[in-house]
Copies of this chain bind each other. A is one copy, B any other.
Amino acid sequence: VTFDLVLVGFGHVARRFVELLAERRAILQRDFGVTTRVVAVATRQHGRAQAARGLDVAGLSRAVVRGDRIGPGDGEGTAGFVASAVRRHRAAAQAGRLVVVEATTLDIARGEPAITHVRSALDGGAHVITTNKGPAAFAYRALARAANRANRRFLFEGAVMDGIPVFNLVRETLPAVRIAGFRGVVNSTTNFILTAMEQGQPFEEALTEMRAMGVAEADASLDVDGWDAAAKTAALANVLLRASMTPHDVERQGISAAAGRRAVEARASGRRLKLVARAGRESGRWAARVAPEELAEDDLLAGLEGQQNAIIFHTDLLEEFAIVQRSGSLTQTAYALLSDLVTIATHATSRPPPRARPRRTL
């Protein structure tokens, strides 16, 4: 199958994604029968470009890095851009081979315009893959229904722990398991800062270092005030626990210089301070929280250094298990998009209609 891709957002992640597609072209074709071409790109500050027969994305990437424009238009009205791109590629959409790649940044107020992008893509018959946490954190249920109606996929593996499988893990490999709750460390910037502060580094200095490495969000508040973790927690709760919440429903406490003092004290008494995200059932309703917690040294989460992340799932049949990300990188986030693309090409849903017959392929 040849997927026609519409890229909405063309920052570091989207640019690394198109590089990865080129680097893995042979294996994508040989093992999964997947080829791709990018037919439209919308950037926030560098204009827009489209070409039905495929754009020279490497050239567009270089232009953006140089600071040049790639075409007319601006970041406003991207919702209209998505809708019109999907209309323009109606034939590909009808054939199930149009994919909107949503790689804009998180809006913590309402998750927009990403939600509108996803909705108009699905309504037009396109699949959607995204690294943006907003759509699943603010509107998972409605968007999943829209995808179902359209018989298209809405996938967002990159929203949590980059390309390490979390949503795909549960959907594809844990049939009939009920997830009762989870706790984890899901924000790399705050974990790095806490680890650094334990060793005496001041808060601002550690934050500056994360910014220089390109890991911290441009708006520091998203990380240090716990918003990024809260958005991930809401997305996880909505998808895995079938809760219905937004990041604003997550009880939230971030970290600051004061947390640094707590971290040093905790360490001195053989404990570790971590920004823990958790969700589960409390008095008959879903409750979710992001807050610094002092953990015993032998807690799996206590051992996460620097930018490491982990989630411990509480389940019925499998009791507790955890998935651990031991390092983060732009490539891993971009890989999440690639894995979602392959999922569209190769994976059946975990919930086929009861009349479905088993596939006979190995």
Contacts and interface: CB of A to CB of B under 8 A. Distances in A.
Interface residues of A, number: 73
Contacts of A324: 300, 321-324
A317 interface: yes
Contacts of A312: 326
Interface stretch (A28-36, A131-139, A212-220, A246-254): A28-36
A320 B331 contact: no
Given A323-B323, A360-B96, A352 B317 contact: no
Interface in A141-177: 144, 147-148, 151-154, 163-165, 168-169, 172-177
A213 to B, nearest CB: 15
A331 B298 CA distance: 26
A331 B317 contact: yes
B174 A339 contact: yes
Interface string A293-312: 00000101001010000001
Counting chain B CB atoms within 10 Å of each CB, which of A28, A325, A326, A357 scores highest? A326
A247 to B, nearest CB: 25
15 contacts: A28-B176, A31-B176, A32-B175, A151-B361, A151-B362, A164-B321, A173-B173, A175-B338, A300-B326, A312-B326, A322-B323, A323-B323, A348-B348, A348-B359, A348-B361
Given A31-B176, A298-B303, A348-B348, 13 more contacts: A1-B356, A1-B357, A27-B176, A29-B354, A151-B360, A173-B339, A174-B339, A320-B326, A320-B327, A322-B322, A322-B326, A345-B358, A346-B352
Interface of A: 1, 20, 24, 27-33, 96-97, 144, 147-148, 151-154, 163-165, 168-169, 172-177, 298, 300, 303, 305, 312, 317-327, 329, 331-332, 335, 338-339, 342-362
